[in-house]
Amino acid sequence: MRTDLSSQISLNRVSPKYYKPENAVERSVLTRYEKIPTYIYETIEEGVKAIATEVINKIQERQRDGKFCVIAAGTGSSLRPLYAELVRRHRNESVSFRNVVIFNLYEYYPLPSKDSRSSYQQLCELFLDQVDIDKHNIFTIDGMIPQESVIDYCRLYEQRIQTFGGLDIVLMGIGREGNIGMNEPGSTLSSNTRLILIDATSRTEASNNLGIDNLPPCSITMGVSTIMSARKAYLLAWGETKADIIRKAVEEKDSDSLPASYLQVHNNASVYIDLPAAAHLTRIQRPWLVTNCEWNDKLIRSAIVWLCQLIDKPILKLTNKDYNENGLSELLALYGSAYNVNIKIFNDLQHTITGWPGGKPNADDTYRPERAKPFPKRVIVFSPHPDDDVISMGGTLRRLVQQGHEVHVAYETSGNIAVGDEEVVRFLHFINGFNQLFDGDSNETIKKMYKNIRKFIAEKKETTLDTRDILTIKGLIRRGEARTACTYNQIPLHRVHFLDLPFYETGKIVKNPIGETDIEIVLKLIRTVKPHQIFVAGDLADPHGTHKVCTDAVLAAIDVEKENKAEWLKDCRIWMYRGAWAEWEIENIEMAVPLSPEELRAKRNSILKHQSQMESAPFLGNDERLFWQRSEDRNRGTANLYDKLGLACYEAMEAFVEYIPL
């Protein structure tokens, strides 16, 4: 089974000419906006092989000179593939690390005990324990030193680096706030190793990487100055969630609000990224600004939308002068005039709009996103958590039902860890009260459970994991809310499926990898329903990764059916939605479903049925808006963009991109 198909989704075909320049002259032209040398690879595997080769060459060069190679190493998720490749080279190619000296880039503080999950422990598991580094050459920061000793300790850590001649290499990722190491926004260029408070975004990201739910509040980190002193700095980033922060770090002015941007003034720093992480760099997103383009429909659409936004004009009012003055004269040569390009893109976008997401019966579907037949269709909406369906496509979901389609909703996970303890207490009060009123207070099981759970929650520490009983109750709360929302949207409860995929049921933020059991559960449902439409989460920016794993489970199941040449799949279309964490770029939208003010209000009501996910929801990410607010803002934003481009004016729009099985 192929279980990582979401990583192979490519919305735009990027020509190699934009990221693989043939010579130095081409590179200088393409990278004119980039202030740090940036190397783009088609895949993570290709990227880490290139970095591993450079690092090993430096290690072996120092070996030949009889010297140590001093490396500062972080533990972010971007570094994991690199460590795996270095371990592979050690095992398969006998690469030796005996002359390597390692300094841990940062450690969490204060660590409760020596057994606490730490950055150093993770570094050992990923790399140090699997190669032949001399244990005497490994130096890490002590996360248990007394607070009054931290300043002196940090000074000694810096001195120890200097006793080995300074850092040869620093290996690091980039945080979502642009932090390097644990240097948060506001860190100065002159900062040395020090104690720093971790902000909420970095805590969330670090907890995902480290595998623990509750991190200490602080970190002792190498400072920006320490990192900048390294003779070679490698910054790694993979995946679309890093695209925006990479563009800012590489192309915008260096600033203490984005510590990674300081690498612009390093004399030997390089950024290594894959194509998804490079998506917002000028040479990838707006290549017409730096070179001659290989034009395709999506790139033309992207260019015209950009031009409209730049000069604040709708599509049909763009002139030859507008194109010539903004680097798009190639399109005039290609199409003859602005008018011809304008009409093409206007019609292209107009054809994405449909009020019939399941296809309009007895209508010409030549220019419609969905086919007219069969009608009605069997539809499965896969929802990673028990509210993603209504957050991301609540209006479309409601319209599919109203237009007569057989709509099934499949909730892939229980969502139990996203329920606050106060919700459990509230439901326990109800159950206990119900027991007393209608069962004469005679149910000893309920009384005992009520007492035990109340005691557990009252004594619960921040690091304590919920019991299975509490997780079950939290899961029941989410199920009840999901059923209420489905009933509100007129979906019969026998078409509401709770899959409870096993990978999720760890009781912790960090989940297990996807397994065959997860995929078999999805397979059973799609083989039973044999859908004509599948809606699946394309919103892979979920900070805890649940969306990605759930989407991988669905795509893997579809892949199995494709291999089996399943008949139902020949007449099925798969649509990807977004909404909770991001929205589709307009150049990628293939179906836009308009919502009236009444429909948007109904969508909001659907989301509000999930009461446990309102103000008390534990995982809102780094966006302070509640999920219904995010959803409405994004839907209105999409409609507003269509309006400004001179297309139809609607209250809101939900957008979708088709997935073609690989």
Which residues, including other chains, have CB under 8 Å from residue 207's CB and lie 6 or more apart?
A: 213, 214, 215, 509, 510
Residue 87 to residues 97, 103, 152, 382, 490: CA-CA distances in angstroms? Answer: 10, 18, 35, 38, 55
CA 446/CA 138 separation, integer angstroms: 54
Query: 10 Å Cβ neighbour count for 82?
Result: 24
CA 350 to chain centre: 30
Helix (H) or strand (E) holding 652, with range, is: strand 652-659
DSSP string spanning 414-480?
A: --GGGS-HHHHHHHHHHHHHHHHHHSTT--HHHHHHHHHHHHHHHH--TTPPPPHHHHHHHHHHHHH
DSSP string spanning 177-208?
A: TS-BTTB-TT--TT--SEEEEPPHHHHHHHHH
CA 420 to chain centre: 23
CA 113/CA 110 separation, integer angstroms: 9
In 341-424, the DSSP E strands lie at: 378-383, 406-411
Residue 15 to residues 29, 88, 126, 277, 280: CA-CA distances in angstroms? Answer: 16, 31, 34, 15, 15
End-to-end CA distance of the chain: 13
Instruction: Find, among 307, 505, 532, the residue nearest to 417 by Cα.
Output: 505
CA 9/CA 574 separation, integer angstroms: 13
Residue 65 burial (C-beta neighbours within 10 Å; 0-12, 13-18, 19+): exposed
* Residue with tokens 């007219």, as numbered in its chain: 372
Residue 632 to residues 105, 419, 592, 654: CA-CA distances in angstroms? Answer: 41, 23, 15, 10
Q: At what angle do helices 388-402 and 597-608 cross, to 10 degrees?
A: 130
Catalytic residue among 184, 205, 481, 651: 184
CA 19/CA 283 separation, integer angstroms: 8
CA 514 to chain centre: 17
Q: Quick check: is 184 catalytic?
A: yes
Catalytic residues: 184
